[in-house]
């Protein structure tokens, strides 16, 4: 892996931590967080499936 790839991964992890911290600052409980994550995961998988079927 090149130096640019490592920097990209570290930057992406930093953004993930920042997004998680800002989301948790709203003090949303864990069950709501899991439900929202599963809903978004299903939406992305559904759209990816539709693209794979029609493309």
> Quick count: other Cβ atoms within 10 Å of Cβ 12?
10
Give Cα 40 to chain centroid, integer Å.
Answer: 9
CA angle 26–46–43, rounded 5-degree value: 10
Give Cα 53 to chain centroid, integer Å.
Answer: 23
> What is the total residue count of the chain?
55
- The alpha carbon dihedral of 40, 42, 45, 50 has a sign of negative
Mean pLDDT in order along the chain per 10 residues (55 residues): 84 93 87 93 97 91
- What was the pLDDT predicted at 1? 66
Q: pTM surpassing 0.85?
A: no
- What was the pLDDT predicted at 40? 96
């Amino acid at each position: 892996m090149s130096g640019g790839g490592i920097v990209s991964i570290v930057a992406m992890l930093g953004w993930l931590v920042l997004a998680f911290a800002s989301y948790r600052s709203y003090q949303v409980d864990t069950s709501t967080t899991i439900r929202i994550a599963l809903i978004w995961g299903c939406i992305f998988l559904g759209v990816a499936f539709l693209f794979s079927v029609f493309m």
